[in-house]
Structure 1
C-alpha cells in the first residue's frame, strides 16, 4: 500500500480530486487530497514564501506517512517537486500531472510568465490574488459544459505571493522516481525543462488524450495512471 498525497493546481482545493480518490482507495491505497494555504476552504490561511512546500511536508509528517507518492497538478508541481526532496526516505515516487516543475532559485512566475513585472500587473487591484480562469478559458480542454461549470463554481483566487516564491531544491529532480503526465490537448510536447528531465533513467512520460484538467475530464484514466505509479 502507498500513501498518495494529491495536490491540486492553482485556484483549486482538495475537492478537485473527488472523482479520482475512490478508485485509488478501492485498490487498497491510502489517499490524502490536500488543499494548499490561501485557496478554497483554506482561503483565510496566509500564504507566503515556502508556505505551499511546507503544507505538503507538514501533511506527510503530521500523519507520519511512509511509502509516499506525491502528486502535483499544474502550478503545484513546483511545491511538490521541492517537498519531494524534503521528506527523504518517506518518498517512493512523484507524479507531475501536466505541471510546472521547479528550478532551483526560480519561481513559477519567472519560468512560465514574463517575470515579476507581469505578475504585479496581474495582481494589481485584485488584493494580491491571482483571479481564477473564466468559463471561456476552459474551451478546447476536453471538458463538458457541466464539468466546466463545476470547476468555475469551485475555484477561488490564488495567493499571488506563492507565484513569485523562489524554489529551494534539496534533491535534484533528475534523481526522483517520477512519472510525468502530458495532457495533449494542452500542447503536444512537454516543456523544454521537462523534456530534459525525461532523458534521465528515473523519469518516464505518460500521455493523456485530454486537456489540462484530467481529474475532471478523464478521472478514471488518471486514477489508473496513478495506480501504476504507486505500484
Structure 2
C-alpha cells in the first residue's frame, strides 16, 4: 500500500483534494491531505518557508508512514521538494503537479519576473499574498461552480513562506520523481524541470487541463497520481 501525502498550493488547504481522495482510497491506498500552517483552518498561525517543510515531515513521521508518495501542487512543490529528501527511505516518489521546484538559497519570489509583483502584493497586504479574484481563474478549464469554490475557500497566503529561501539538504536530482505538466497552464515544463527530466531521469507526464486539476479534472488527476506511484 502506498501512502499519498497531498499538499495544495498557495491559498489552499487540505479541502482542495476532496474530490481526488476517493479515487486514491478506492485503489487501496492511504491518503493524507495536509493543510500547511497559516492556511485554511490554520489561518492565523505564523509560518515561514521552513515551517511548511516541517509540516510535511512531521505528518509523515508522526503517522509513521512508509512507501510515501509526496505530492506538491504549485507553490507547495518548494516545501514538499525539500521534505522529500528529509524523510529518507520513507519516500517512494515525489510528484509535482504544475509545481515549483526548490532551488537551494532561492525563494518562491525569486523564481521568475512575476516574483516582483508577488513581493509587492505581500508588502501592500500586511505580509500576505491575497487570493486571486474569480477572473484570474479564467482559461484554466474550470467551470463557474469550480471557480466559486476556489474563491470561497481560498485564504491569504503567509508572505514569509514566499520570500524566505529553500534549504536543500541533499540532491533533488537523485530523488525518484514525476513532474505533471498541466497543459492549459503551460505547454512545457519550466526550464529547471526540463533539465531534471533530461539529465536526472525525472519522469514527465501531462494532463490536459489547467493549473488547478484537483478541481477541473479530479478523477483524471487521481489516475495520474496512481500511475506515477506505480513507476
User: After TM superposition, is the score higher than 0.5?
Assistant: yes
- Which sections of structure 2, spanning at least 5 residues, go unmatched? none
Check 1:150–1:119 CA distance in 2 against 1; reply closer, same or farther (3 A cut): closer
Q: How far has the Cα of 1:124 moved from its partner?
A: 2.5
CA distance in 2, matches of 1:204, 1:55: 26
Gap change, CA 1:49 and 1:95, over 3 Å in 2: closer
Report if aligned partners of 1:75, 1:108 keep a CA contact under 8 Å in 2. Answer: yes
SS at match of 1:112: coil
Give the CA deviation at 1:222. 0.5
TM-score normalised by length of structure 1: 0.96
**Per-residue deviation, residues 40-67 of structure 1 (Å, max 9, x unmatched):** 0001221024010000000001101111
Residue pair 2:49, 2:79 contacting (<8 A) in 1 also: no
Q: Measure, in 2, the Cα distance between the counterparts of 1:48 and 1:201.
A: 29
Distance 1:19 1:132 in 2: 21
Matches of 2:18 and 2:114, distance apart in 1: 33
Deviation at 1:164, TM superposition (A): 1.1
RMSD over aligned CA atoms reads: 1.2
- Find the counterpart in structure 2 of residue 86 from structure 1: 86
- 2:133 aligns with 134
Give distance in 2, aligned partners of 1:13 and 1:26.
Answer: 22
Judge conservation of contact 1:6–1:72 (CA < 8 Å) in 2.
Answer: yes
| TM-score scaled by length of structure 2 | 0.96
- Structure 1 unaligned segments of length 5 or more: list them: none
Write the distance in 1 (CA, Å) between the matches of 2:118 and 2:227: 37
Query: In structure 2, what is the equivalent of residue 53 of structure 1?
Result: 53
